[in-house]
Amino acid sequence: MWSSMWDTSSEKHGDLKAALTIFAIIMTTVSFWFLQTWNKHSRNSKPAPLPPGPHGVPLLGYLPFLGTNHHHQFTDLSRVYGPIYRIQLGTKLVIVVSSPSLVKEVVRDQDTIFFYRNVKVAQRILSYGGSDIVFGTHGPEWRKMRKMLASQMLSKTNLDDCYALRKQEVVKSIRHVYNEKIGTPIDFGQFVMSTTSNTFSCMLWGGTLQGEKASDVGSEFRKVVMEMIWLLQKPNVSDFFPVLARFDIQGIRSRAKKLQSVTENMFDSIIETQMNKDKNEGVPKKHEGKGFLQFLLENNINQDSATSLTMKQVKALLTDIVVAGNDTTAGIIEWAMSELIQHPDELRKVQEELTKIVGINNLVEEFHLPKLHYLDAVIKETFRLHPVLPLLAPRCSSQSTTIGGYYIPKGSIVFLNAWAIHRDSSVWDDPLEFRPWRFLNTDTSNSFGYQGNNFHYLPFGSGRRICPGIPLAKRILVYVLASFLHSFEWTLPNDATVDLSDKFGIVTKKKAPLIVVPTPRLSNLELYA
């Protein structure tokens, strides 16, 4: 048929012949385009490869080769396999990211996918079944709790109002050192931990507990918190092989339940005391001298369900504050003091600034803190060299996706190696050196803040999972460190040296404690009385 149409010489078929020629050209073009598109689609539809990574052994994966200092080992592996790689730990696939651009993909571009946590056995129990902010799942209740914490409880006004509670505990510590420890070697880390723990405890229940009762409860609560931290970082075979969780081989589940029961009873007792106190004395109009528990009870429990928190959420939130805040704050203060002792010229500059801003005849007050620019640079440099969470809090993919062109299966655990990023020589000059002045430049100081907007500097994380307690952490951290540096001279015992090696944990700490000897620095000794 095609042949007869093509061969016709009749004039009346001329238009048909032209139309068929154009049609044939169009169909050929469309067919070629379709074939090319199909081939391209076929190539693109192939699943992206998994990230590279070291081989393990059957069933256990890389577990037998996993050392104790994960941040060091993960950084070494990144030099072999690149800025993103995988390791198999039991049944869990772990993805390690050490590149700022890839971190951005996780915490910003695909934040909804990587929002979730791979909640371990002990974490689930101690967080009241994931009812808190750290381990909770994204949703209306989580957003409500975070808003309550960040926008209301830790607002500038509320933190200003409870300054008296922080000052009370810091002054107690200064007087304790002056009265009992002058000229005596002390474990600075333990001393700071005691101070920050008492400060957080005091801020939790404020004036609810008084005198000896407050001291007893604070001491008991500190012991419980320390055991919680130890339990949370203890490796549990059930976390790598969930099928074994029912057997509780290491007894971690039962131990976590006992700890949770202890904190539950403590909270119940303190809440009952506060409620009875409110009935008898009435609720004051101001929050001055009042703790977080009182704030929550007065502002949330009796409101409508859209804005109030349940008792379980209140307890989970308070646990978050003291467990997540205390250990990290004490840890970074010890690291900062260690670096300053190791670098006496930097210590001298900080104390000269304190003398100029505060005065040698005064104690540090919180209104002094914004003017302490060199101390701020010291703290930022300490966070860079010694991030307390070197791998940040691990995330978990809620669905399969790709990062940097690599396939990330659903349920993968993702570590963001801030420790490696903070020591990247392409960003930081002499990255292994302690150089606070790098943060004195206005542009650098503004660019490398605590809000996680620059992915080369992530001391508190980034994205919606960034630590919501930054305002509180900054206040306690700077106030405690400034007070101790201003009130005392700190020197090493004879022939002692500073060991800056670290040991990995939920919070990475010094491997060897910092032992120092305090002597009075203030000219007015009555300030210590």
**Using an 8 Å Cβ cutoff, are 5 and 17 in contact?**
yes
Q: What is the CA radius of gyration of the chain?
A: 30
Q: What pLDDT score was predicted for residue 442?
A: 64
| DSSP code per residue over 352-382 | HHHHHHT-TTS---GGGGGG-HHHHHHHHHH
Gap between the Cα atoms of 155 and 418, Å rounded:
28
Instruction: Dihedral sign for Cα 212, 477, 394, 238, please.
Output: negative
**Using an 8 Å Cβ cutoff, are 179 and 529 in contact?**
no
Could you tell me which of 114, 49, 59 has the C-alpha nearest to residue 82?
Answer: 49
Task: Please compute, for residue 320, the number of CA atoms within 13 A of its CA located in the half-sphere on the CB side.
Answer: 26
Q: What pLDDT score was predicted for residue 389?
A: 93
**Residues composing the chain:** 529
Q: Residue 297: phi, psi to the nearest 5?
A: -65, -40
Burial of 240: CB neighbours in 10 Å, binned 0-12, 13-18, 19+? middle
Could you tell me which of 508, 519, 451, 512 has the C-alpha nearest to residue 485?
Answer: 519
Confirm whether 31 is domain-assigned: no
Confirm whether 314 is domain-assigned: yes
Confirm whether 260 is domain-assigned: yes
Instruction: Dihedral sign for Cα 128, 129, 132, 133, please.
Output: positive
**Using an 8 Å Cβ cutoff, are 238 and 352 in contact?**
no
Confirm whether 310 is domain-assigned: yes
Instruction: Say if strands 509-510 and 502-503 run parallel, antiparallel, or are unpaired.
Output: antiparallel
For residue 222, the Cα-to-chain-centroid distance in whole angstroms is 21
The CA-atom distances, in angstroms, between 409 and each of 92, 95, 284, 320, 402 are: 11, 10, 54, 30, 8
Q: What pLDDT score was predicted for residue 215?
A: 72
Range of the domain at 355: 127-388+464-528
Query: Tens-of-pLDDT digits for all 529 residues of the chain?
Result: 333 333 434 444 444 444 444 444 455 554 555 556 545 544 445 679 999 999 999 999 999 999 999 999 999 999 999 999 999 999 999 999 999 999 999 999 999 999 999 899 999 999 999 899 999 988 899 999 998 888 888 999 999 989 999 999 999 999 999 999 999 999 999 999 999 988 988 888 876 666 667 677 777 888 888 899 889 888 999 999 999 999 999 999 999 999 999 989 988 888 888 888 767 665 554 444 568 888 888 776 656 666 788 889 988 998 888 888 888 999 999 999 999 999 999 999 999 999 999 999 999 999 999 999 999 999 999 999 999 999 999 999 999 999 999 999 999 999 999 999 999 998 899 999 999 999 997 666 567 889 999 999 999 999 999 999 999 999 999 999 999 999 999 999 998 999 999 999 888 999 999 999 999 999 999 999 8
How many other CB atoms sit within 10 Å of the CB of residue 406? 18
Q: What pLDDT score was predicted for residue 461?
A: 94
**Using an 8 Å Cβ cutoff, are 48 and 407 in contact?**
yes
Could you tell me which of 346, 269, 280, 355 has the C-alpha nearest to residue 315?
Answer: 269
Confirm whether 366 is domain-assigned: yes
Burial of 157: CB neighbours in 10 Å, binned 0-12, 13-18, 19+? exposed
**Using an 8 Å Cβ cutoff, are 213 and 266 in contact?**
no
Give the helix/strand (H/E) hosting 259. Answer: helix 252-281
- CATH number, position 290: 1.10.630.10
Confirm whether 131 is domain-assigned: yes
Contacts of the segment 431-437: beta carbons below 8 A, 24+ positions apart: 432/385, 434/339, 434/342, 434/343, 434/346, 434/381, 434/385, 435/381, 436/346, 436/374, 436/377, 436/378, 436/380, 436/381, 437/377
Tokens of 103: 């971190």
**Using an 8 Å Cβ cutoff, are 383 and 481 in contact?**
no
Reported as a single tens digit per residue, the pLDDT across 204-239 is 887 666 666 767 777 788 888 889 988 988 899 999
Confirm whether 290 is domain-assigned: yes
Reported as a single tens digit per residue, the pLDDT across 92-103 is 999 999 999 999
Q: What pLDDT score was predicted for residue 310?
A: 87
Confirm whether 278 is domain-assigned: yes
Residue type, 395: R
**Using an 8 Å Cβ cutoff, are 470 and 150 in contact?**
no
Q: What pLDDT score was predicted for residue 16?
A: 40
Q: What pLDDT score was predicted for residue 45?
A: 52
Q: What pLDDT score was predicted for residue 377?
A: 96
Q: How many domains is the chain built from?
A: 1
Burial of 455: CB neighbours in 10 Å, binned 0-12, 13-18, 19+? buried
Furthest CA-CA distance within the chain: 121
Gap between the Cα atoms of 372 and 367, Å rounded:
10
Could you tell me which of 176, 168, 191, 157 has the C-alpha nearest to residue 365?
Answer: 168
Burial of 481: CB neighbours in 10 Å, binned 0-12, 13-18, 19+? buried
Write the CB contacts of 193 (distance below 8 Å, at least 6 apart in sequence): 326, 327, 330
How many other CB atoms sit within 10 Å of the CB of residue 373? 13
